[in-house]
Amino acid sequence: MDILSTRLIPSEQAIESRVGDEIVLLHLENGTYYGLDPVGTRIWALLKQDHGPVEICRLLSAEYEVAPETVEQDVRSFLTDLKSHGIVIEG
Amino acid sequence: MAGTLEAWPFDPALDAGETLAWVQSEGVVALAAVRLREGLAGTPEPVRRAFEDAARAEAARLLMRQAEARRVLAGFAKAGIPALLLKGSALAYWAWPAPYLRDCVDVDLLFASREAAMAAAALLASDGYLRRQHFGEAATREFLCLRHLPNGSRLEMDMHWDLTGEPLFRGRFGFDELQASSIPLPTLSPDARGLGPVHALLHACVHRASNLASGGGDNLKWLYDLHLVAGGLDEPGWDTLCALAADRGLAGVCVDGFSTTATLFATSLPETAMAALRSASAKEALDPARLREWTYFQRQNLRALPDWPSRARWLWQRLRPTAHYREDVGVTWTGLVTDRLQRAWRQLRRP
């Protein structure tokens, strides 16, 4: 199933800290951490506000004035990575 | 760190890894990353990237320690064991611009007594922490609780029952006094409290002075602690600090610490307070300018102990760390004895 069609929520094991313009995310159990750039930080904020992946793509495409296909490709890759490390889970 | 540079001051070909390693050894990598991010013209890109990556890793380690500290402090509060956070573990949350900027390797906790620290360690043991005592109790006033995590990292809690283990500075402050003026650290946890600004500043001076002889006292991280806390102290705070420093025989180490910090960071220090500290320092027997001399420092430690049996015990336990120390550091008896003899020889020959 396409990850963009999946409802995703932040894992309870994922905690965050702001580092300048970025957010650092840590998975408490496996120790994996991510430094999110401003776009990643925006996606994370939208996920926490309970926006679904399709809605996130639509908002980013409008905010950054980027073609929807490009945004979808990037968000898909980003969310797949977060999910594979347990930072987000299916809700 | 002093904010006086406008451009990268080193050779652009300087190795990023070496630069990073040096800054990490001073404990200020995240702070340096911020300065580079704010814009220092001509900073080589590999250096900037290496510092950014290291700052992220530091922030991740902070998150891990923070989550654990919250859990552990809640457990102590529930069990009725008062504990105060010390050094960077507390300063990160009120003195530094952001907690992740203050490099820490462990969580430092102060308890009312050795018995209280042992009770806290018993609670931690049920969470898988191992109690590690590196030196005998005549030589130190702390032990370590250590937990290995499944991901390969480890968490360390330093359990203290005095602000310092060095006989020269032991027993200057009681737990009740420190607790009475302690401050909440709500951004860490509702159960977290740290030393009040005056005691935190005195402790920072003592901690620095205790580490000068081993060559570590003028670590930039510790001096920046002094800079931030001294720079933020108000007039009544300085009055209290001067009175306490004079009363507890710590004026000299305060003057030495503040002067060094001001030289590096142009720390704003009130002249009346500095004059009062200098005047009190002149009446103290300790010469802070000589604390870098290993033999002088150890002589003062021996003098501070009440009798010869205590001195013999202290000396023996300093020279003979426990099996925990040998296991954790990974040395054999032979290696340890050789190393101690070589270090003592080097220190004795040092001018």
CA distance B218 to B208: 7
Q: Could you report the per-residue pLDDT of B247-284, keeping only the tens digit for each? A: 999 999 999 999 999 999 999 999 999 999 999 999 99
The count of CB pairs under 8 A between chains A and B is 51
Question: Averaged over B294-309, what is the pLDDT?
Answer: 94
Is the CB of A70 inside 8 Å of chain B's CB atoms? no
Q: Where are the beta strands (DSSP E) in chain B?
A: 84-85, 107-110, 130-132, 142-148, 154-160, 183-184, 193-194
**Looking at chain A, how many residues does it have?**
91
ipTM of the predicted structure? Answer: 0.83
Residue-wise pLDDT tens digits, A32-64: 888 898 899 999 999 999 999 999 999 999 999
Q: What is the pLDDT of residues A12-22, one digit of tens each?
A: 999 998 888 88
- Which of residues B151 and A7 earns the better pLDDT score? A7
| Interface check A3 vs B, CB under 8 A | no
Task: Out of A20, A24, A29, name the one closest to residue B60 (CB).
Answer: A24
Cβ of B67 and A24 within 8 Å? no
- Beta-carbon separation of A35 and B52 below 8 A: yes
Structure tokens at B189: 């946890």
- Does the pLDDT value for residue B350 go beyond 70? no
Instruction: Name the interface residues of B facing A (CB cutoff 8 Å).
Output: 30, 34, 37, 52-53, 55-57, 59-60, 62-64, 66-67, 98-100, 149-153
The pLDDT of residue B307 is above 60: yes
Going by pLDDT thresholds of 50, 70 and 90, the confidence category of residue B40 is confident
Residues A16, B52: C-beta atoms closer than 8 Å: no
Return the pLDDT at B248: 97
Q: Please, which residues have CB within 8 angstroms of residue A10's CB and are 6 or more apart in sequence?
A: A44, A47, A48, A87, A88
B137-160: pLDDT as tens digits: 888 999 999 998 877 788 999 999
Amino acid of residue A51: H
- Residues of chain B found within 8 Å of residue A33, distances taken between Cβ atoms: 56-57, 59-60, 63
The whole-angstrom distance between residue B197's C-alpha and the CA centroid of its chain comes to 15
Residue with tokens 């451009």: B7
Q: How would residue B351 be classed by pLDDT, with cut points 50, 70 and 90?
A: low
**What are the backbone dihedrals phi and psi of residue A10, each rounded to the nearest 5 degrees, phi first?**
-60, 140
**What's the one-letter identity of residue B249?**
G
Residue A21: per-residue pLDDT: 81
3-state secondary structure of B165: coil
Query: pLDDT at residue B55 above 70?
Result: yes
Our CA-based measurement puts residue B260 at a distance from the nearest CA of chain A, in whole angstroms, of 29
Percentage of the residues of chain B whose pLDDT score is greater than 90: 67
Query: What pLDDT sits at residue A22?
Result: 86
Identify the closest residue of chain A to B33 by CA–CA distance. A20
**Alpha-carbon gap, residue B150 to A27, rounded angstroms:** 12
User: How far apart are alpha carbons B301 and B176 in whole angstroms?
Assistant: 25
Burial of residue B265 (number of CB atoms within 10 Å: 0-12, 13-18, 19+): buried
The C-alpha atoms of residue B86 and residue B206 are separated, in whole angstroms, by 13
CA dist B344 to B168, B173, B214, B331, B348, Å? 19, 31, 11, 17, 6
Encoding tokens for residue B231?
A: 């720079």
pLDDT at B149: 81
Torsion sign (Cα): B51, B53, B59, B60: negative
| Cβ-defined contact of A24 to B63 (cutoff 8 Å) | yes
pLDDT tens digits for range B165-218: 999 999 999 999 999 999 999 999 999 999 999 999 999 999 999 999 988 889
The residue among B53, B56, B149, B154 with the most chain A CBs within 10 A of its CB, best to mutate, is B56
Task: Identify which of B73, B91, B93, B92 has the alpha carbon closest to the alpha carbon of residue B83.
Answer: B73
If we measure between CA atoms, which residue out of B110, B167, B175, B111 comes closest to residue B138?
B167
> Phi and psi at residue B220, in whole multiples of 5°?
-60, -35
- Contact at CB, B34 and A20, closer than 8 angstroms: yes
Chain A residues touching residue B98 (CB < 8 angstroms): 18-19
Given a cut of 80, is residue B58 above it in pLDDT?
yes
pLDDT class of B308 with cuts at 50, 70, 90: very high
Which of A12, A15, A17, A29 is the mutation pick for testing B, counting most B CBs within 10 A?
A17
Dihedral-angle region of residue B135 (phi above 0 means left; psi in -120 to 50 means alpha; beta otherwise): beta
Contacts of B99 in chain A (CB under 8 A): 17
d(CA A52, CA A50) in angstroms, rounded, equals 6
pLDDT, chain B, mean: 91
Using CA atoms, how far apart are residues B6 and B133, in angstroms rounded to an integer? 47
Asked whether the predicted pLDDT for residue B340 surpasses 80, the reply is: no
Return the CA Rg of chain B.
21
Model pTM?
0.89
Residue A22, chain B, CB below 8 Å: the answer is yes
What's the rounded mean pLDDT across residues B333-347? 75
